[in-house]
Structure 1
Amino acid sequence: MGLLSQGSPLSWEETQRHADHVRRHGILQFLHIYHAVKDRHKDVLKWGDEVEYMLVSFDHEKKKAQLVLSGEELLETLQEKGERTNPNHPTLWRPEYGSYMIEGTPGQPYGGTMSEFNTVEDNMRKRRKEATSLLGENQALCTITSFPRLGCPGFTLPEFKPNPVEGGASKSLFFPDEAINKHPRFSTLTRNIRHRRGEKVVINVPTPHLPKDHPGPAQVTFQACSISEARYLYDQLATICPIVMALSAASPFYRGYVSDIDCRWGVISASVDDRTREERGLEPLKNNHYRISKSRYDSIDSYLSECGEKYNDIDLTKDKEIYEQLLQEGLDHLLAQHVAHLFIRDPLTLFEEKIHLDDANESDHFENIQSTNWQTMRFKPPPPNSDIGWRVEFRPMEVQLTDFENSAYVVFVVLLTRVILSYKLDFLIPLSKVDENMKVAQKRDAVLQELFYFRKDICKGGNAVVDGCGKAAGRAEPAAEEYALMTIDTIINGKEGVFPGLIPVLNSYLESMEVDVDTRCSILNYLKLIKKRASGELMTVAKWMREFIAKHPDYKQDSVITDQMNYSLLLKCNQIANESCECPELLGPAFRKVRYSGSKTDSST
């Protein structure tokens, strides 16, 4: 969740008048932070996850599932019983965009020891149990990426009708304002996106019939040991984003229809696209300064480390004055252009009480721009005057049905960062190819049906990749033979003579580590899920949902998901999440524990 300031929200016209003030002081705030901590090293490697939950009500008599608009009340109770009573409470709860949503995180970040991997699922279970205990009768806490009938008549409880004409924040044909979180940031954000754009957003989702409109996962944040390590991780993980997104695909349905996509990334990207017609290239530039190629919710546009520089093959739009200012302040051009690119955007929300700030000790103006650039990766400077280090956020994962699955994807990505740093791995390819991968990753059953560009020799750079990057290694321009099109099965599990596979590399790392038996069993179990999802032995959530609907007795092969079909699907999802029924095609026959014997990693994983 982004910056949540309290106060009196300004209208778009008022916010626009202060846009240059926010940008100017946002840069000053960033520079204060940068100069204070740019040379800080040896921060402890920490990490944490964020999971979004939806509140669902089941009417068993009418066979109907609805989203419950009580997120704010539930959140208040959870915070009062939790962190406000005990600062060391094991879980933290935060608001999300929908008033039917809440976000849960661990109360304290995880550390660098291997044993931490064995606590992730337990913490997620605590979150689910804690929030579920406060729900009403026939209500459930569901980890679903997209509610299949969101935007259909009567999808909320209580029911509200959209108001596309008079007043309101969204003026949506399908989504009532009452379903937006009551915190003023969210409705102001929605209203100002529309006002800035000059028209309502348009979200076209391909289906076998008509395009459908739809308003807007699991994330992992890492604290690196230094700014250079954070920049290196940012780049390396950016290439992994589309791979993990396809592996975690979990959202094939929109506004009551079966779609031809499996991920919601492009849907959300369109829902917050505030670019004007001029910025989208539909009209000549007159009132705006830039042509902007992407929504503010999209893939990254530049690598940050020196080793990534030669792979920056995307034209980068940036604020030239800010760029020159940052260079004069001693920033290298890669970091300067990254920040100057973020700051081509306007602030979308501004509170009257937050206009004039102490730039040396506050960062709200910087975060105003930073937190509304929702990219696949986010590079996060420390907050002012804190002991928090330089961080990166991995953002493309789709939330899964069970705590086991969510833990598996989190552990996979976190373990991969350990291996990247330990083995000095190099996943870099031209950024334009990563963009192509992002488009492919959202297609139906991309995990099995599509090919992805990936680097062939991930060990070629050796220690120079981190220690000196391209400059020390004396690298030339990127060559096409450095990367190839591969299946996700090849990328994850390897193929002899083509690519070693990420799972085998992780196994090699595990064999070299001192790991207690229980932790090793848990990790192997998680990696087995990832391995089998990549090979197709187990379905992605998206594919499982498609097959469930296709086999439903009420389905008429017309792409329509009725209330009763939605009810049956959500009820089954909740049963799987609470382990009251098995789902071997999704989770395998015995996913709870892996038997482990001997001192080496189980070769079957």
Structure 2
Amino acid sequence: MGLLSQGSPLSWEETRRYAEHVRRHGILQFLHIYRALRDRHKDVLKWGDEVEYMLVKFDHENKKVRLVLCGEEVLQTLQDKGEKVNPNHPTLWRPEYGSYMIEGTPGQPYGGTMSEFNTVQDNMRKRRQEAASVLKENEAVCTVTSFPSTLTRNIRHRRGEKVVINVPIFKDKSTPSPFIETFPNDDGEAAKAAKPDYIYMDAMGFGMGNCCLQVTFQACSISEARYLYDQLATICPIVMALSAASPFYRGYVSDIDCRWGVISASVDDRTREERGLEPLKNNHYRISKSRYDSIDSYLSECGEKYNDIDLTIDKDIYERLIKEGIDHLLAQHIAHLFIRDPLTLFEEKIHLDDANESDHFENIQSTNWQTMRFKPPPPNSDIGWRVEFRPMEVQLTDFENSAYVVFVVLLTRVILSYKLDFLIPLSKVDENMKVAQKRDAVRQGMFYFRKDICKGGNAVVDGCGSAQNGTGTDAEEYTLMSIDTIINGKEGVFPGLIPILNSYLENMEVDVDTRCTILNYLKLIKKRASGELMTVARWMREFIAQHPDYKQDSVITDEINYSLMWKCNQIAQGQAECPELLGVGFNKKQSGNKTDSL
């Protein structure tokens, strides 16, 4: 979720006193890194995924399931059995936001050879098995994005009031209209903030307590990292809609399928002044977005003309960076991140060696939770310039999670090999982000996408490079497309990302086993995009709708929740088939293994 350190955390009042100190020294730390490593080239592709897990306990007798607040204990056990006794252990475990959450990654990053794709699912299965092995009876590790049934003080203290999260209710046949919640023991704040026909939530945990799937790539240079950052930013809403997996909140069926806006609201620490509700008096800026949102500016030169969002920046920081030789695009990116305050600060981490440490920079950088993250190398390490792809929702099975990860990693290889250009005005990407979160956006949504993505004019697949050839105005360069068209292609409109990936694979030397694995992953993505297979969100909705206890009133009871989570657990363990989600004949006994069933 960001910079998770151990130490003595300061209160918000104490943290606020050091805000300028953190910003000032964070910029110094960034400058040290930039000066030392701006000319670093020829780093090889390395990449890794991050899977977040929820720990749950099933009460089979009473047909209830609850989150288990044992993350710290489980984490300690996993680390003691793994990396602490073997530095080359195949898995790594890290803390996550909630005490019922843990995060698992590969022990070492994957490399640049195609055969690495053949090991992703095996590693994810190892992680699941490791975590499950240290749990107690009737406890399970689940990869669900949001826990259907029904936290952090510094967010609330900085904001000056509770966060407000209003998610539209799904209107079923028996859902009250208007749907209005009542809040026992309410001091009036909930009744005031809640809206008719919306599900109301008022704490950071409702957002940051959700789980996700992320991928980080090492680029060969800073310029390649900036190019990938921009290109992938346009893909974020598409993959988010494809991975949609969170239709339920606080015991209700919502009218959205993705967690993004919920988390965005849950960590929105902007004051009333910063949100434009009161005149600026105690704050410096009007800030248009939460600190958890889509990116606000492209970083590469080819992206500059598409930067059409007003960017709020710290002008003093911007001018300092320009003076130190940082180019305009990177300087405004950093100066925009640094309009935020540090949210947490540890007593032991106040005074640092700016030439050899980067905690103050990371304090601000890692609490700007955007769809993409541009990551400078840590000081004194062999790690290069990286980008992090952050919008994906976690899937039920290791097969699905592997498929989404491999799809994105493969896409980065194709972008760089074919010099593809997905750039459109950033305001259109923001519009796509809103569409992507809507119910059944995969089948119903229309997304702005570039028509001619082969800016070099290379016709890498039929239909690529034949649209506008880069000569049109902005309005002619992009159009509205369905996700099916974007992913699978449509003759005369767009070649499709899957056909381009297949073309790339045909030109690569890939062993038969790896090729089979990759093609199975791409089949899942292809069939999810076409609607032939359901997204997790759509499957969950249909499961609830068909449950004998569901009264078509948008309410998820304890027993319904139990049934859903138990089914999710069985599917993840390979103990139940789910053809609507995974395809007919998916090997239920070995759902963690490769399959030709799609």
Residue of structure 2 equivalent to 1:197:
159
One-letter code aligned to 2:523? K
Residue of structure 2 equivalent to 1:229:
224
1:212 alignment partner, one of 192, 196, 199:
199
Residue of structure 2 equivalent to 1:518:
513
List aligned pairs for 1:355-366, cutoff 5 A: 355-366=350-361
Contact 1:26 1:365 in 2 (8 A): yes
1:559 alignment partner, one of 551, 554, 560:
554
Report the alpha carbon displacement of residue 5 of structure 1 after superposing the two structures with TM: 2.4
Deviations 1:473-523 (A, max 9, x none): x98895201000000000000000000000000000000000001100000
Check 1:533–1:475 CA distance in 2 against 1; reply closer, same or farther (3 A cut).
closer
Identity, % of aligned pairs? 86
Report the alpha carbon displacement of residue 289 of structure 1 after superposing the two structures with TM: 0.6
Check 1:478–1:97 CA distance in 2 against 1; reply closer, same or farther (3 A cut).
farther
1:572 alignment partner, one of 543, 567, 571:
567
Distance (whole Å) between structure 2 residues aligned to residue 419 and residue 264 of structure 1:
29
Distance (whole Å) between structure 2 residues aligned to residue 15 and residue 594 of structure 1:
51
Contact 1:90 1:106 in 2 (8 A): yes
2:199 aligned counterpart, secondary structure? coil
**TM-score, structure 1 normalization:** 0.89
Contact 1:430 1:478 in 2 (8 A): no
Distance (whole Å) between structure 2 residues aligned to residue 444 and residue 560 of structure 1:
17
Report the alpha carbon displacement of residue 354 of structure 1 after superposing the two structures with TM: 1.1
Residue of structure 2 equivalent to 1:250:
245
Contact 1:524 1:594 in 2 (8 A): no
Are 1:87 and 2:87 matched, yes or no? yes
Distance (whole Å) between structure 2 residues aligned to residue 232 and residue 337 of structure 1:
16
Report the alpha carbon displacement of residue 462 of structure 1 after superposing the two structures with TM: 4.9
Contact 1:448 1:488 in 2 (8 A): yes
Deviations 1:323-375 (A, max 9, x none): 00000111110000000000000001111121111000000100000000000
Deviations 1:400-425 (A, max 9, x none): 00000000000000000000000000
Q: CA RMSD in A?
A: 1.4
Contact 2:577 2:586 in 1 (8 A): no
1:205 aligned counterpart, secondary structure? strand
Distance (whole Å) between structure 2 residues aligned to residue 528 and residue 101 of structure 1:
30
**TM-score, structure 2 normalization:** 0.90
Deviations 1:529-563 (A, max 9, x none): 00000000000000000000000000001000000
Distance (whole Å) between structure 1 residues aligned to residue 308 and residue 318 of structure 2:
19
One-letter code aligned to 2:217? F
Contact 2:72 2:99 in 1 (8 A): yes
List aligned pairs for 1:143-542, cutoff 5 A: 143-149=143-149, 152=150, 170=151, 190-207=152-169, 208=171, 209=179, 210-214=197-201, 215-216=206-207, 217-462=212-457, 478-542=473-537
Check 1:376–1:515 CA distance in 2 against 1; reply closer, same or farther (3 A cut).
same
Distance (whole Å) between structure 2 residues aligned to residue 96 and residue 518 of structure 1:
35
One-letter code aligned to 1:131? A
Distance (whole Å) between structure 2 residues aligned to residue 523 and residue 6 of structure 1:
39
2:168 aligned counterpart, secondary structure? coil
Contact 2:52 2:394 in 1 (8 A): yes
Contact 1:310 1:477 in 2 (8 A): no
Distance (whole Å) between structure 1 residues aligned to residue 425 and residue 359 of structure 2:
33
Contact 1:202 1:270 in 2 (8 A): yes
Contact 1:302 1:312 in 2 (8 A): yes
Distance (whole Å) between structure 1 residues aligned to residue 562 and residue 360 of structure 2:
44
Residue of structure 1 equivalent to 2:185:
none
2:575 aligned counterpart, secondary structure? coil
Report the alpha carbon displacement of residue 212 of structure 1 after superposing the two structures with TM: 2.2
Contact 2:520 2:596 in 1 (8 A): no
Distance (whole Å) between structure 2 residues aligned to residue 304 and residue 476 of structure 1:
22
Residue of structure 2 equivalent to 1:11:
11
Check 1:11–1:423 CA distance in 2 against 1; reply closer, same or farther (3 A cut).
same
Distance (whole Å) between structure 2 residues aligned to residue 389 and residue 476 of structure 1:
36
Length, aligned pairs only: 549
User: Where has structure 1 moved over 3 Å in runs of 4 or more?
Assistant: 474-478, 590-596
Deviations 1:135-179 (A, max 9, x none): 111111100000000xx2xxxxxxxxxxxxxxxxx3xxxxxxxxx
Residue of structure 2 equivalent to 1:186:
none
Check 1:77–1:433 CA distance in 2 against 1; reply closer, same or farther (3 A cut).
same
One-letter code aligned to 1:141? V
Distance (whole Å) between structure 2 residues aligned to residue 461 and residue 299 of structure 1:
28
130-139 vs 225-234, greater mean Cα deviation:
130-139
